[in-house]
Every structure is written in C-alpha cells, then in structure tokens.
Amino acid sequence: MYAGLGIILMKIGDFEIDMPDPPLQDPHCIAILKPWINVGNVGKIVLGRLGKMYGAEQIGQLDRPGKFYDFTRYRPEIRLAGGVRSVRVPNTKISFARRPSSNDLVLLELLEPHAFAEDFNDSVIDLLKALNVTRYLQIGGMYDSVPHSRQLPVTGSARGWETLPELKDVKLGGSKYQGPTSMTSQIAERIRTDMRLETLSLMVHLPLYLKLDDDYAGSARILKILAGLYGFSPLLPEIDMGAKQYDQVTPAMTDNPALKDMVERFERESDNDISGESDSNTSGPDSSSDTAVMLSPEIEQFLSDISQSDSNSGSDDLEERGK
C-alpha cells in the first residue's frame, strides 16, 4: 500500500487498486472478456449502460499491462482532448457502483492476456477476494445460426441461480463443447471450486450473417435479464437502437433471395426448437465461423453497409461504449 496525490493505492497481485471506502456491500461482480467472447461488443455495451445507470467509478487496472499484452496485437491509441495529445494503453479495468440498500456491483472488463496468463488469473482471483465479491457473473455474445426476426436465445450455466424466475428464458446447462478456449476460463473454475461462490454465465447468440460492430439487440437481450435480476427498469435506449438495426435487414431480403432463404431456414429451426434444445447450444465461444453459410458478395456488402451506417450514426450517449 502506498499514497500519492491524496489517494491511497493498494497493489493486489498485478493490479493497482484504489480500494473503495467504505467497503462495498455484498458486491456482485459482472465480468466481460475481450475479445474472446465479446462479439457484437455486447459485454462492453452492457457494462457501459450499467456504469451510467449506477454512476460507476473506475478504481484500478493492471500496474504494468505490457507484462500481459502484446501491444502489436492490442494497439495503443493516440487521443486528442482539448488540444492535448495522449496515448491510451489497452488494459484490464475495474470499476465499482454502489446500489443503496442492495448489492453493490464490481464491473470487470477483462482483456485476454497474451503472456503470463497464470499470473493474470491469480491476480483476478486475489482482486475478487480483496473486494469480498459474493457472486460472479460473466456475460458475452457469440455468433450462431439464429434469425434476427426472433427473440435472440441466451444460454449459460449457473451455480446457485438455477431456480430464479428471472432466468426462465435462459437455457442453463453444462456445455458439451470441446476445443480451444482461453486461459482465463480457469478464473470461473477457481471461483466455483476454490472460492465456492454463486456463479452465472449468460451468452447471447447473435445472427452470424450480420456481424455488427455494436449489436444493440444482443446487448438489450442481456440487459433485460439483468433488469429482472437487479430490479432496474428494462426500458433502455439499447432496445430501440437494436430494433432499428435489425429492421434494416428485413426489407433487404426482398431483393436478396439468398439472404431471405437463409433467414427463413433459421426461422423454421428456431420455431421448431421450442424447448431451446439445439446443437448450437453445445458449441463453444469460438462458434463465430460462417463456413456453413456462404453469402453472395452483394449481401456481404449490404450487411457491411448496415454495420458502417450504424457505427457512424450512434448517439452521443453510447458512442464511446464500443471503443
């Protein structure tokens, strides 16, 4: 522990933390992992909304991120603010939000490490212990063979949350996926086995033929579930923004038979899959491959234009969230 500029900082593993005072009340941690399972920027958008809603404050980040990150893969960015030039260095960030008479929140924006992953995982576990976290949620998004015209499915796993009515639309169960994963997967394992905390993962499945930079419909789907769990209003800007994004696709199907046939096939599969059981639910977070469906160059260009148009027309309230 050391002091500087009137702020008392604490080293916890490889993190430098300004510990909340007074301590957080029975905090729940909501975590995202970039870029591994954050397609459509879903996790970032959700954390951004929660941060604005509850007035979150950043309390820390990795002391020396270069230990873990290859900055030729995660590029630093030059920023100009008020004529002052600065360099933004990619990092894992920790924020907190107080909720009166309820569980406080720890918002954890994990950036997947390229090296020393064991030290990274140890530091995250030490951080959660130091903050006395009592529940751990991980949220994200993955591409799947689902239509934009139906409610986006959400799958996940839970320990201690299974009977909550707010999760009735979530297919919970053990994953059958086998294959490559992230070393940070060990964090959730250790939270369950060593810390014995209640855990929940929520993964929204997004249409693989869209691949929007910022998928607000997917973000709204996760936010609605969290609204039920934490008692905030589900009437959020992301709902209308997501609807406008997806509404742009339907008219295009009239002039693009390949896209229309694809969506109709996905709709039939979705309608027939009333119980939520499907092969896609057993796939892992690397299910972003679109090799099963080939798109014409015209459709690819159209969908690219949608993504670019949305990116350029986002509201001031949300434009920074995808960065």
Strand partners of residue 85: 80
Residue carrying structure tokens 């038979």: 257
Beta strands per DSSP E along the chain = 2-4, 7-12, 15-17, 28-34, 57-62, 77-81, 84-88, 93-97, 105-111, 135-144, 154-159, 170-172, 198-207
Rounded Cα gap, residues 41 and 242, in angstroms: 13
Residue carrying structure tokens 């909340």: 20
Q: Alpha helices, DSSP H only, in 64-215?
A: 117-130, 185-193
How many whole angstroms from its chain centre is CA 162? 21
pTM of the model: 0.83
> What integer pLDDT is reported at residue 311 of this predicted model?
52
> What integer pLDDT is reported at residue 256 of this predicted model?
84
Per-residue pLDDT of the chain (323 residues; tens, 9 = 90+): 544 444 568 999 999 999 999 999 999 999 999 998 899 999 999 999 999 999 999 999 999 999 999 999 999 999 998 889 999 999 999 999 999 889 999 999 999 999 999 999 999 999 999 999 999 999 999 999 999 999 999 999 998 887 888 899 999 987 677 788 899 999 999 999 899 999 999 999 999 999 899 999 999 999 999 999 999 999 999 999 999 999 988 887 888 888 889 999 999 999 987 544 544 444 444 433 333 344 445 445 555 655 555 555 444 444 343 34
Architecture of the structural domain at 23-312: 3-Layer(aba) Sandwich (3.40)
Domain-wise residue ranges, the chain: 23-312
Rounded Cα gap, residues 14 and 228, in angstroms: 35
